[in-house]
A = this chain, B = another copy of it.
Amino acid sequence: MQRPLEKIRVLDFTRVLAGPYCTMMLADMGAEVIKIEKPGHGDDTRHFGPFQNEESGYFIYLNRGKKSMALDLKNPHAIEAIKELVKQSDVVVENFRPGVMKKLGLDYESLKECNPGIIYASISGFGQYGPYSQRPAYDLVAQAMGGMTSITGHPENPPTRSGASLGDMSAALYAAYGIMAALFHRERTGEGQLIDVAMVDSIFALLESNVMRYTVDQIVPERIGSRHPISSPFDIFKAKDGFVVIAVANDSLFNKLAAVMQQPELAEDPRFNTDPLRTKNETELKAIIETWLNSYSVEEAVKLVSEAGVPCSPILTIEDICEDEHTNAREMLIEVEHPVAGPIKIPGNPVKLSRTPAVIKEASPSLGEHTEAILKDVLKWESARLQALEGQKV
């Protein structure tokens, strides 16, 4: 089956997480992604756990379906090879600190001379311009500087990082959307362009209405745990052996909850008989619900409450969700075959396209697996030029 980005070639200078996840989304859609890696060492994540037969699961997941060229960016012959490749490519993606690609002579201004239609995406912590653009980019810093950390966690605890690297992942997603928009524009006009995406901007862009509460009402949103800002009981509650989500946003649902708790009087209680009152007296209400839940396991509670017509769910662990039948039905965990690691399960693509689905067949490449083939077959280099590259360790 055809995938949407077939015949699109991406030169991929990215490392670690944000950049590789972005180019993974292009590879999933059928682009030929050529990953340029440091000879001998490769992407740092080749050395990150977890390992299966000494191959990194982290690397295999993020670099599935890509090709690898080992090229020493300090070797002028390697730079020549890259510039020749740019002439035959559509997209360049990089996530070095701003300025590094320029020092290497591989910035947008240099590469568009080789190919004016090239689309060049840079992902960084703070962006290519702005007062903080030279600051180092860790996800923890991006979440903190982007405003997310200040509103995550319980009020009595410190501000809290979200459990996954949202700075990297969201920047990758915004960049993929930007690259797609630029590809569409180029298809219609032939024009290329530069795309600049910052992790900290991406985190800020995820804050949704929290920003409007400040710009309109000068309210500074704070940490409120897992509860809903204006509805109650809409929170995470403790049952006998774990936690459950109960989501009640109106009186009718609250009546149903009170009934299943066999405390129908709660629905008439002057502390709890409207949504604003329930929110005002949320602490008392939570204590009553948790006292009741104390007699039930999570499984029992979710069954009882859901059957009463009240939205309710368990909190799945990573194990739970990986083993869940819905995850399986949605192909959100798929198996690829790696020549060394063997069969390995990696996350699928959440975008289900009916005609051109993201078919993920191949695992990640070994370091430099395609160096020679690309030099010979795409660039038509002959043995003398190949030898000139030999000075580098591959």
Contacts and interface: CB of A to CB of B under 8 A. Distances in A.
Interface in A206-261: 206-223, 225-226, 228, 234-236, 238, 243, 245, 247
Nearest to A29: B181
Interface stretch (A81-89, A129-137, A268-276, A381-389): A129-137
B352 A161 contact: no
B150 A315 contact: yes
15 contacts: A4-B184, A127-B352, A140-B245, A141-B247, A147-B316, A152-B162, A154-B158, A161-B226, A177-B351, A180-B180, A184-B187, A185-B355, A200-B326, A204-B321, A205-B347
Given A50-B213, A154-B157, 5 more contacts: A57-B212, A151-B163, A166-B166, A170-B170, A185-B356
A197 B127 CA distance: 29
A363 to B, nearest CB: 13
A183 interface: yes
Interface string A96-140: 000000000000100000000000000000111111100110101
A202 B182 CA distance: 23
Nearest to A161: B226
Interface residues of A, number: 141
Interface stretch (A32-40, A67-75, A328-336, A369-377): A328-336
* Copies held by the complex: 2
A379 interface: no
Nearest to A230: B49
A284 interface: no
Nearest to A129: B329
Contact of A354 (B48, B195, B325): B195
A140 B200 CA distance: 24
A183 B181 CA distance: 9
B177 A132 contact: no
A236 B353 contact: no
